[in-house]
Amino acid sequence: MNDKLVTLAIRTYQRAQMIKAVLTNNGIPTEIHNLNLENPEMAVGVRVRIKESDLPQALKIVESVEKEWEKETPKKEVKTIVIPIDFADMVEKTIDYGFLFAKKLNAVVEFLYVYYIPAFTITSNNDISTYSLTDNELLRRIITSAKADTENLKNRINKRIESGELPKVRFEFIMKQGVPDEIIPEYCKKKKPHLIIMGTSGRRPNNELIGSVTAEVIETSESPVLAIPVLMQSNTFKRIGFLTNFDQKDLIAIDKTIELFKDEAPELFFIHSSDKIEAWDEVMISGIKAYFSNHYPELKTNYSLIAAHNAPEQIENYLQLNNIDLLAFNTRKRRLFSRLFNPGLAYKMVLHSNTMLFVTHV
């Protein structure tokens, strides 16, 4: 075999330079040939040329390194649905809807479990309380219990998938140590999942603390949130209400809502709530009617004005009277001071509504 030059591969200029560096490091002289020598980076492809006698060894090296480079290439971003869990009664409902939408969206379900490790334990002896630092044994028990809980739920889900009760989608568990009120909103803000599904207590006595985590996620996250009340009666999305403020961004939020629930071919109820119904409100409602008759002629739509600005009780009464399965609306991220002293509609509806909520952030 003579030592004439042969073409080993034709690659982009950048990739050819990488191959040349690897082969040179392995003692194989390499040349890059290109017609446009003045501006090789502009070429579609260049020739990587080596001696014919080096061809067998070079082929093995290039095949090996290119496989490694392919592994390092960023993969297409995977859609995720985050479901925070606390192993309460709401877990089964959030699992059902999580897997339903994961199948529709071709997404991965992430169960987020936050377990709390106290800084101290409290014991009582003759009505006198004493405090002691958490010992290693208590720490071990808490972590072991958390892992056992997630393993049991994992086994239950796998059985439901095997029986056909749940669609076959990929799911995983994320375990975090800390206070749920802090960890869950922070995780959702950083993760920015395609959808967040959480349970709420709805309209029940003494529910302020129970629903606060869901409300906090809704008001701080950039991802859409599906909030499921524990006393929710409907399991369909046939009748969807959309609360509008006549903002242009509502149209984007409505499109998102229709896209997510289009398989149900829902009937839409557009609702505007205000302190006082003005003539301008009627004009805006007419504009929405015209928009949807042109863009979504196949959808059945209804339009209502409610004289109750941010009044969750009156809005909830309307939802019950019209048998609305889900209330959707758009909200914006609000500063901490505003959320503390002037809670938004999303927060109020989480604590007062037994209707499922779908909240977008456009």
pLDDT in tens, 58-78: 888 888 888 787 766 555 678
Q: Say which CATH architecture domain 5-72 belongs to.
A: 2-Layer Sandwich (3.30)
Task: Provide the β-strand partners of residue 290.
Answer: none
pLDDT value at residue 88:
64
76-184 and 194-362: identical CATH topology: yes
The DSSP bridge pattern shows strands 225-229 and 356-360 to be antiparallel
Q: Say which CATH architecture domain 76-184 belongs to.
A: 3-Layer(aba) Sandwich (3.40)
Query: What CATH class is the domain 194-362?
Result: alpha beta
pLDDT value at residue 42:
43
pLDDT value at residue 349:
74
- Ranges under pLDDT 70 in the chain: 1-2, 34-45, 71-76, 87-90, 118-136, 201-212, 233-234, 275-280, 308-310, 332-347
Backbone angles phi, psi at 137, to 5 degrees: -65, -45
Cβ-based neighbours of 210, under 8 Å, separated by 6 or more: 200, 201, 204
What are the boundaries of each domain within the chain?
Answer: 5-72, 76-184, 194-362
